[in-house]
Structure 1
Amino acid sequence: MSSIEINQLTKSFDGKKVLDNVSLQIYHGEFVVVLGPSGCGKTTLLRTIAGFEPIDEGNIKIGGNTVSTPERHLPPEQRQLAIVFQNYALWPHMSVEENVAYSLKVNGVNAFERAQRTACALEQVGLSEFGNRRPADLSGGQRQRVALARCLVAQPSVVLLDEPLANLDVHLRAAMEEEFAQFHRHTAATLLYITHDQHEAMAIADRVVVMNAGKIMQFATPQTLYLEPANEMVARFIDDGRIIEVENIRPRGHGMADVMLFGTEYRLRASPEQQAAGRGKVCVHASSLRVARNDEQGFGARIKRIIYRGGYSQLDVEPDGNASQPLALHLANVSGLAVGDSLWLTLNDGWVIPD
């Protein structure tokens, strides 16, 4: 088994807490992405799991075995895991084949088995014809595939990935997302993947850890993070969610509640534990808004900016009388619309943020 269990983990540098009472249970074979803004502690979390950093409080278990406590620190080479770095960490003087086979050679695997496993790993990442090349002769995407092949050949049970796509352009990143999904299917390993790119995280993860200021904000599936953010930070961070203040929250059961928003009553999604409240906040996304018919309930807004996005345009709007709560919506056709025009809008959806 290759589960990762983290209990009340705390890590400080120069008296400043970088990880603050972090607890996570990652299941065997799960693909988990740690997501958050720069400086939130996600890379430090990976380094403590890898064994590069000792911990101040709590404990870390891998496959049920305790590898880190304040009193006991198992070194990285004894943790039976593999790491894919942002900079690939390839030996420049070795060929692709030699880079992939290196860990097997160090561990005393015989030449015949080494060659077989190396060839198989290169075939799985589509680099069978590149075995004799040096890393300098490869593109960024190909170098990342070499790093993946090096993991595959070692047959690890746990793989840690530290922003592995950060140095690639947008087109290569999209292609490599599928490479990582295939890598997960081939290895059946437990993957912990660090990134600051939420679109990357949402595309590949079974579950996502959202971190901020060294704390876990929410640990859930991508769908839950989008539809049911646990707090205001997650709501704003995921897909540029917008926060609107509402009044007179009245739970209606079955995960719904009535609210007054910009003077209009709406029935929106809410936690089953949602309590009645005089004031609160809801999260809406661009897909939650649409242009209303004249006979529909809604609210007025003025267009502040129109941004062409290819297949649609994003309209940044300012609700009438609520300039401090800007919103956005997507429209396929904006012909006839201009900055300064007024629109009549309504909500398709929204989520009452739990207290």
Structure 2
Amino acid sequence: MSAIQITHLKKTFASQPVLNDVTLHINHGEFVAVLGPSGCGKTTLLRLIAGFEPLDQGTICVGERLLSSSEIHILPEKRALGIVFQNYALWPHMSVVENVEYSLKVAGLDRAERQQRTLDALALVGLTQFSARAPAELSGGQRQRVALARCLVARPSVVLLDEPLANLDVHLRTSMEEEFSRFHRHSGATMLYITHDQQEAMALADRVVVMDKGRVMQFSTPEMLYREPANAMVARFIADGRVLPVEQIRPDGKGMADVRLFNHPLRLRASSQQPECPQGQISLHAADLRLATATEVGIPSRLTRKVYRGGYQQWDVELESHPEYPLSLNVSDTLRHNIGDSVLLTIIDGWVIPVN
């Protein structure tokens, strides 16, 4: 089994805490993405799991095997982990087939098995016809496929991916996302994917770790991160969410609560454990807002910006009573309003952020 168990992990560089009490359990065969702002500690987490850095406190286990603790540090080459780097890390003087085969050669496998496993790996990533080429003769996407084949050929039970699509353009990223999904299905490996790109994380991962300032803010499915953020940091970070203050939170204990937003009554989703509170916060996304109809009592607002998004417009608005809380919503591209126009908003969904 290749479950990853990380317990109370701490790491400090030059007296500056980088990871602070990180605990995660990643299931066997699960695809987990680690997401967060720059400097949150996600790359350091990968380096500790890979063995490139010793930890200060805590433990890292894969299956029943202890890889790191304050007393034990297994070297990277002894951990039997697959790693795919952002810069591909290919040998420039070797051909594609030699790059992929190299780890098997070092491991001492016989020639026939090396060749068969190498050919199988190249076929899986669609590079059979490029096997004799040098890395310099390949595109960025093709070089990333070589790196994937090199990882796949070793048949690792755990694969660590360090922002592997960061150097590719938008179109190549989309095709490589499909490649990673296929790689995961074929290998059955446990995969930990470090990225700063939310779309990648939400599209690929079974679950996502959101980190900030060296701590785990939330570890959940993409849908739960979007719909039920655990705190204001996650609410703001995921999909350009907005956080607004509310008053008179009265939950019904069944997943809904009545609140007042700047004296406007709303009924929104809430945790079944949400207590009654005089004050709190809610999380909203663009999809939670729409323009009020003629029969609705909307929230007076002002249009501050319009962006054409292809088939629809993104409107940025500010509430007339509280312009310090900007909001965004998506509307039909046929609407003809001008910057500065008054509009009425209706909030059709939202989440009461749990009290920590």
TM-score category (smaller protein): over 0.9
Normalised to the residue count of structure 2, the TM-score between the two structures is: 0.99
Residues 202, 208 of structure 2: 8 Å contact kept: yes
Q: Give how far 1:262 is off.
A: 2.9
Measured against aligned partners, the alpha-carbon deviations of 1:16-62 in whole angstroms (never above 9, x if no partner) come to 10000000000100000000011100000000000000010011101
For 2:293, the equivalent position in structure 1 comes to 293
Matches within 5 A, 1:217-228: 217-228=217-228
Residues 308, 333 of structure 2: 8 Å contact kept: no
Residues 249, 257 of structure 1: 8 Å contact kept: yes
Amino acid aligned to 2:29: G
- Provide structure 1 residue ranges, at least 5 long, that are not aligned to the other structure: none
Alignment pair present for 1:72 and 2:35: no
Residues 302, 317 of structure 2: 8 Å contact kept: yes
For 1:166, the equivalent position in structure 2 comes to 166
Q: In 1, Cα distance between the equivalents of 2:312 and 2:93?
A: 48
- Aligned-pair identity in percent equals 63
1:217 alignment partner, SS class: strand
Q: In 2, Cα distance between the equivalents of 1:12 and 1:215?
A: 13
Residues 104, 114 of structure 1: 8 Å contact kept: yes
For 2:342, the equivalent position in structure 1 comes to 342
Measured against aligned partners, the alpha-carbon deviations of 1:199-252 in whole angstroms (never above 9, x if no partner) come to 110000000000000000000000000000000000000000011111110001
Q: Give how far 1:334 is off.
A: 4.6
For 1:282, the equivalent position in structure 2 comes to 282
For 2:241, the equivalent position in structure 1 comes to 241
1:116 alignment partner, SS class: helix
For 2:202, the equivalent position in structure 1 comes to 202
Q: In 2, Cα distance between the equivalents of 1:303 and 1:135?
A: 51
Amino acid aligned to 2:270: A
For 2:156, the equivalent position in structure 1 comes to 156
Q: In 1, Cα distance between the equivalents of 2:334 and 2:81?
A: 52
Normalised to the residue count of structure 1, the TM-score between the two structures is: 0.99
Alignment pair present for 1:92 and 2:92: yes
For 1:103, the equivalent position in structure 2 comes to 103
Alignment pair present for 1:175 and 2:191: no
2:252 alignment partner, SS class: strand
Matches within 5 A, 1:1-355: 1-355=1-355
> Runs ≥4 in structure 1, deviation > 3 angstroms?
none
Amino acid aligned to 2:54: P
Q: In 2, Cα distance between the equivalents of 1:224 and 1:59?
A: 28
Residues 316, 329 of structure 1: 8 Å contact kept: yes
Residues 264, 297 of structure 1: 8 Å contact kept: no
Aligned residue pairs, count: 355
Residues 9, 58 of structure 2: 8 Å contact kept: yes
Q: In 2, Cα distance between the equivalents of 1:311 and 1:37?
A: 30
Residues 262, 299 of structure 1: 8 Å contact kept: no
Q: Give how far 1:336 is off.
A: 1.8
2:11 alignment partner, SS class: strand
